Structure 1
Amino acid sequence: MTVVHESSDYRLGEAPGGLPLIGNALQIFTDPLNFLPSLRHQGDLVKVRLGREVAYMAVTHDVVQEVLQNPRTFDKGGEFIDKMRVILGDGIGTCSSTVHKRQRSFVQPAFQKARIEGYTAVMRSHVGDLVESWEDGARVNVLEEMSRLTTRVTAQAMFSDERVSGAAIAEVRRSFPIVWHGVYRRMFLPLPLIHEVPVKANRDFRAALGRLDDVIADMVAAYRADDRERDDILSILLSGEDQDGEGLTDEQIRDELMTVLAAGVETPASGLAWTFWLLSRHPEVEARLHEEVDAVLNGRTASYEDFAKLPYTNRIINEALRMYPPVWFITRRAAADTTLAGHPVPEGASILFSPYALHRDPAVFEDPDEFVPERWELERLKKLPRNAVISFSGGSRKCIGDVLANHEMTIAVASIAARWRLTAVPGHEMKPFVKAELTPGDLPLVLERR
């Protein structure tokens, strides 16, 4: 272990194994799920080299919370956020703290309780169609199935006008995964010229991003040309005004819609895929799930009103997100010369932390590599530190859609489990696939009608 110095109760260490020019970027890019958790052995705050830049990895729970609870000091920025701005612009997920309050005021009405009920009804409709379309004994790629589901749900929540949204949904389904993977490559290969070379990956990224921009521009233009009332996110953004009576520009609306896509498509799809993979390997958990959904649903599709009656289903979701948080890596940037964990951090420095690594810390979670939904029972929760799980980040910059995501995923899992078992394919070995989100990659499971 290399400890640089001990100027506080928290250790400042340095990540080992850096290479010339790229530092530790290759270790993060090629083996992040082993490398990042290993840094807890180096210190509580660890210096990491990304290219020529020295970043600071917040490793332990208390240091991560110090970052999250000081959003003006540790503002949105760093490698991940800077690259995300390529696609998200200055939406609510990437904007600086100086404008966040105003941005949030436009988006918040879309996530009020009545709206969540409406979006959950959309999920109910689409997951009902999904379970009806499946055939007993068929093999499905569960990540692809869940991505198709969440794309339809998110796109309909954004654009409810079926006359103009069909093509938009299809284009989102085609283009968004390409863009999302391109962001990851740019994030951990800190050599800008590589991403300008006219190779296929770079051409595909730029073309897909252009198509998404065109889809959103077309939808905004269509809605502005027709002032009919619609109950969807785009309408809420178009009608919003700040305290000065100013609304959002088309560019700002584009950024917020791209942010909704980023949060609403791949992230819950990955969470659902992980959930079904874990259930396929833990029959005792699956059996308890079936007991609950059979008692509550009796084979029907779940609704918003059923959510409170599905506590064990919800614990399964929370445990899956703890073990495999789709947002596995988060960055911030120091807005001024400051200290973190009692150690000096210069203005402009990147601050890194990993929900995946934190959720696997044995100092926070007993048996962290075990799938134990019961750890989310109230009495056991009391033993965990506040904000022990940061699947949706934390503090004032916590994901605005966390409640919606939790409801939608619970409704989806319960509705599917009421009718189907998704069983493992013999001989298939799952390997976590790390990109801008953490997924199980192509994951074949066999459908078994219950």
Structure 2
Amino acid sequence: MTALPRALPLLGHAPWFALKPLDFLKSLSSHGDLVRIRLGPLTACVVCHPTLVHQLLLADRAFDKGGLLYDKLREVAGNGVGTCPASAHRRQRRRVQPAFHRDRMPGHAQVMAEEAATLTAPWVNGQILDVPNAMHRLTTAVVVRSLFDPGTDHSSIPALQSSIGALVDGITRRMTWPLPLLHRLPTRGNRRYERARLHVRHLTDALLSNLRATGSDHGNLMSLLLAPGTDGSLLSDAEVHDQVVTFLLAGVGSTAITLSWAWHLIGAHPDIQTRLHDEVDAVLAGRPAQLTDLDSLKLTGHIATETLRLYPPDSLLLTRTTTTDTELGGHPLPVGTTIAFSPYQLHRRPDIYATPDAFAPDRWDAIDKPAPGTFVPFGAGPRKCIADTFVLAQATLTLATLAARWQLSPIPGQTTRPVGQAVRAPHKLSMRLNQR
């Protein structure tokens, strides 16, 4: 295992990671398959080889969720299905899995179509659209209606959207600069983070009270969380809250960012945009996309997949903690070691993907199934994202539905760049709407 050079006193490699995270991560593999880095007082071993990352993800009990990222996520999401230790994961996953069963997907797809219609109803030809804001509004409404409350008032969506953004920003700061004193200061960002935590908790309490008062069973995630499990046990209010926050954070932000990057990439490649419009015209003929259209929307699906490769929605650096003395790639790892891997780094390896920085949706024509560890936007193994099918379907159907009626064109002179360490969101992404 190689120790990364240029560590500063006290700060370690945190300044390089904070200032140029993409360059920092892409450089790691040149130092070896396992590279030791320091972020402030914390040390992590970054796994850079796909085969070793796959081994890491399969052995979820030896390499349990923990370390810098999950310590910060648990401040908000507690021990939900995405953050809980391996010992609690199987029980939780069985509880929430039915909400994402294929039999539920037609209903989810219908909500996606309805919310796309609501989003685009006020659009006018020539309008300048704040793309990330619009996509976050859309995905917030879809997740809340599909998973928690089908009767949600749309007037509440902007406030919830803002709170989710504040939580992600707060987690990013706490991960990048893991110095507790900084996060106790009464700064504007810290105050916004605390207000957002309280708002999401109040929202969860309201959802619980409403569902219990009406006794309605909507067959969605919220109803499943309140129903007795197979052993007759009930989740506590705290456990329900953890699951709600988990799916709000994962389901809203990841899909919105994927859609935003997809529109940016499509707009920057006129040839692909033309082919996209040809495909949706042939398949949809102007109507909203339905679940049964997915197999016919081949290019649209490849655009979503390629966007996930270039801009994976999870954190740039995902962490695990060893629960026992173990080894990886022949390197001994004592109990309590923080292990990390980067989907971004893996997806940009030139030995895996030709022209790795290029947007090339057609590359997926030749990739029937990616080799283990080479494409991990949703993780892998027992802890693979439970909503991966939901997210990919939403991205594909939304792109198709909107592209059937609208063309999103770049603004001349605008420079869009990725920002953030928890997720790489597009900064300054406005596009002109052209009605087709």
TM-score by length of 1: 0.94
How much has 1:353 moved relative to structure 2? Answer: 0.8
1:257 corresponds to which letter in structure 2?
V
Distance 2:372 2:421 in 1: 28
2:171 corresponds to which letter in structure 1?
V
How much has 1:129 moved relative to structure 2? Answer: 2.3
Q: 2:124 aligns to what? A: 135
Distance 1:17 1:27 in 2: 9
2:253 corresponds to which letter in structure 1?
E
Equivalent position SS for 1:47: strand
1:102 corresponds to which letter in structure 2?
R
Distance 1:91 1:404 in 2: 18
Matches within 5 A, 1:105-184: 105-162=94-151, 165-166=153-154, 168-184=156-172
Equivalent position SS for 1:293: helix
How much has 1:116 moved relative to structure 2? Answer: 1.8
Matches within 5 A, 1:49-448: 49-162=38-151, 165-166=153-154, 168-242=156-230, 244-327=231-314, 328-377=316-365, 379-381=366-368, 384-448=370-434
Distance 2:34 2:343 in 1: 15
2:409 corresponds to which letter in structure 1?
T
Distance 2:291 2:254 in 1: 21
Query: Does the Cα contact within 8 Å between 1:160 and 1:231 map onto a contact in 2?
Result: no
2:374 corresponds to which letter in structure 1?
A
Query: Does the Cα contact within 8 Å between 2:141 and 2:154 map onto a contact in 1?
Result: no
Uncovered stretches (5+) of structure 1, i.e. residues with no partner: 1-11
Over 3 Å counting, the alpha-carbon distance change for 1:294 and 1:166 in structure 2 is closer
Query: Does the Cα contact within 8 Å between 1:88 and 1:94 map onto a contact in 2?
Result: yes
Query: Does the Cα contact within 8 Å between 2:21 and 2:421 map onto a contact in 1?
Result: no
Equivalent position SS for 1:245: coil
Over 3 Å counting, the alpha-carbon distance change for 1:167 and 1:44 in structure 2 is same
How much has 1:168 moved relative to structure 2? Answer: 5.0
What's the % identity of the aligned pairs? 38
**1:326-380: CA deviations, max 9, x gaps?**
2132111111111111101121111111111110001111110111111111x34
Query: Does the Cα contact within 8 Å between 1:59 and 1:358 map onto a contact in 2?
Result: yes
**1:369-412: CA deviations, max 9, x gaps?**
111111111x3446x52342101111110000000111111100
Distance 1:406 1:169 in 2: 22
Aligned length: 435
TM-score by length of 2: 0.97
1:134 corresponds to which letter in structure 2?
W
- Output the aligned Cα RMSD: 1.4
Q: 1:3 aligns to what? A: none
Distance 1:245 1:14 in 2: 50
**1:179-202: CA deviations, max 9, x gaps?**
110011001111101111112211
Query: Does the Cα contact within 8 Å between 2:99 and 2:147 map onto a contact in 1?
Result: no
Query: Does the Cα contact within 8 Å between 2:135 and 2:257 map onto a contact in 1?
Result: yes
Distance 2:124 2:99 in 1: 36
